Structure 1
Amino acid sequence: MKSFSIQEINEILKGELIGNTTEQIQGPEELGKALNNHITFIGSPKYVRLWKDSKACAAIVNEKLNVEPGDNRALIKVKNADLAMAKILEAFDPGPPQFDEDIHPTAIVHESATIGNGCKIGAGCYVGKDVVLGDSVILYPHVSIFDETTIGNNTTVWSGTVIRERSVIGSYCIFHTNVSIGSDGFGYRPSEDGRGLVKIPQIGNVIIGNGVEIGANSCVDRAKFSSTIVGDGCKIDNFVQIAHNCIMGRSCIMAGHSGLAGSVTLGDGVIIGGSASIKDHTTIHSGAVVGAGSGVMKDVPAGQTVLGYPAQESREMLKQWVAMRKLTQA
């Protein structure tokens, strides 16, 4: 088990140490759950009052907050407690599961596949024809990578993930459990006799940039033609749907249960709240924010925040909600 003195913690954070504690810190914890060997975090004025009754021996505190350490307790004041917390979590991280051998004997790797230096391929994996894995790619057990897919350096793919043929994956990506990349897009049309549906072939692929993280059970569908594209640095939560021919710019965020219908375009830095739905062939321009649970039916200008169903500019939507409340109280 890892442990640090308060001085060692402050060496990591480069903050202002106030007070002192002789306790060895064995991990981070919430204010209300912390024991005397824990460090906690105070990032907002509403949590300051909880510090007095917390058992934590130390706290990381936003520098503008007025907090006193107390007896055998210490504070480390920093500009941003959330970012400091990320550093502490990294310091206490016990590390990922280890591989006993680089390529497990039960893995199936096609003879034409190219495997980079330092790759790890777990039990029950399948690596298909002409697949290219860059250096230090990690495939945890039961990952399937189909033909002609390329994966860049230092990408990690967790168990149950399936990456379909001809996908192009960047470097330093993380795909969590049961991610689906490159399944058929959802395309059907009524048959000529009107008695059924005709499946539209989906012959494109998926291109995913560098530094993309995709949460468990999320799906990125292949394009009907051309490519579905997820730009560099995008972060996608669990249970997210990205349909065929969508294009996401750089550093977009999609929260859980949100979805893009076919041929949606997102600019750079777009934020999609949880359970929001975006209509097909819609463009959401750079820096726009879509509130949780909203339904976007038309294009959203750059930098605008929209709310509601159908989604409208946030201030206008809030006015409508206030007016509706007044009507019900009349």
Structure 2
Amino acid sequence: MEVTVKEIVSFYESIGIKYRITGEEDVSVHSFCPLNALKSGSVTWARHLHKIPIEKMNEVHRKESLILVAEYGEELAGAEFPVIYAENAQRAFFLMTERFFGFLNPENRERKIERTAVVDTKQIGKNVYIGHHTYIASDVSIGDNVTIMHNVTIEGGTISIGDHTIIESGTTIGAQGFSYFKGLDEREICAPHYGGVRIGNHVKIGANNTIIRGCLADTVIEDDVKTADLVCISHNDLIKQGAQITCGVMIAGSTTVGEHSWIAPGAVLNNGVNIGENSYVGIGSVVLKKVREGHKVFGVPAINID
């Protein structure tokens, strides 16, 4: 598909993105590329112009064409190719690629239930995709525009999944947690898990996550939460709106992760810890106590680094 600078900025106008242009508006491209793998006939983007390989980009443009989307307010000298300066260049770039090249995105798949999926629930919204070899129990409710990929298991207690949520392959939701007490015969008995799991709207659950159902109440993942791959969320955890949890994070039970907080790869959050909103937990940290709102912690054990 061919798209011109003029068409791109017309799209930005239609969605209210502030921009300005240098260079010719009739230059067209038919693909996209990252800045570190430039190719002719493509559009790319950059957040920081001081890292721009300007001579190489001019060379690529001379072969066919190149368009750059850059941060509004920046200024790039010596560019022979068109530059579109747009507010929040990353957002502007990917909204544009979805508009003009969205047919290449495998996430934009046909809405259907694959024939190898086993789906016992009748509570399924509109425009839902359920992948191969996925099992969904009868007490699960699924909202509209939900994508559940392959080899996912969702069962155990009452589980609800909100609208526009994506669950990647290999994830288990609703399993019983690890909580034991000694019985009358002194043998270890797993505490009953009577609760369920509540997942909000616009949530992204990465591949091979484990989300444990609650013990006496539900495990809750609020709207706009994003998890990367290999994350474990335990019983009775509360993950608040907009929190981002990256690869390999382990969250013990009854923990609260505050709104819009960031948990870096490999971090471990101890049982019952409260992570304040807009806080940051550094890579590989072991958090043993409360993190106050807006603070940054790092280390083993994690300490404040503000």
Q: Same fold (TM over 0.5)?
A: yes
Which residue matches 2:231? 240
Residue-by-residue CA offset, 1:194-221 (whole Å, 9 max, x unaligned)? 6x63322322211111111111111111
Partner of 1:61: 70
TM-superposed deviation, 1:227:
0.5
Name the CA distance, whole Å, in 1 between partners of 2:167 and 2:48: 32
Matches of 2:161 and 2:34 in 1, distance apart? 37
Could you say what the CA RMSD is over the residues aligned between the two structures, in angstroms? 2.0
Which residue of 2 is the match for residue 26 of structure 1? 30
Identical pairs, percent = 25
Structure 2 counterpart of 1:249, one-letter code: K
Q: Distance in 1 between matches of 2:20 and 2:150?
A: 42
Amino acid at match of 1:90: E
Q: Tell me the amino acid that sits aligned with residue 92 of structure 2.
A: A
Q: Aligned equivalents of 1:75 and 1:233: distance in 2?
A: 32
Partner of 1:182: 174
Of the two structures, which has the highest relative contact order with CA contacts closer than 8 Å and spacing of 6 or more? Answer: 2
User: Does the 8 Å CA contact 1:28/1:88 hold for their aligned counterparts?
Assistant: no
Q: Aligned residues, how many?
A: 291
- Tell me if the contact between 1:144 and 1:163 (Cα under 8 Å) persists in the aligned partners: yes
Q: Distance in 1 between matches of 2:275 and 2:250?
A: 13
Q: Contact conserved, 2:281 with 2:298, CA < 8 A, in 1? A: yes
Alignment partner, residue 5 of structure 1? 4
Contact 1:277–1:296 (CA under 8 A) maintained in structure 2: yes
Q: Structure 2: how far apart are the matches of 1:209 and 1:63?
A: 34
Name the SS for the 2:29 alignment partner.
Answer: coil
* Alpha-carbon shift at residue 149 of structure 1 (Å): 0.9
Partner of 2:16: none
Contact 1:250–1:267 (CA under 8 A) maintained in structure 2:
yes
Pair 154,249 (structure 1): closer, same or farther in 2 beyond 3 Å: same
Q: Which amino acid aligns with 1:220?
A: I
Cα distance 1:189–1:3, how it changes in 2: closer, same or farther (>3 A)?
A: farther
2:143 match: 152
TM-score by length of 1: 0.82
Compute the TM-score of the two structures, normalised by the length of structure 2. Answer: 0.88
Distance (Å, rounded) in 2 between the aligned partners of 1:252 and 1:206 = 17
Q: Deviations over 1:135-160 (max 9, x none)?
A: 22221222211121111111111111
Residue correspondence of structure 1 range 1-330 to structure 2 within 5 A = 2-14=1-13, 15-20=19-24, 23-48=27-52, 50-54=53-57, 55-56=60-61, 57-68=66-77, 70-71=79-80, 73-91=81-99, 92-94=101-103, 95-96=105-106, 98-99=109-110, 120-128=112-120, 130-165=121-156, 166-189=158-181, 197-315=188-306
Residue type of the alignment partner of 1:297? L
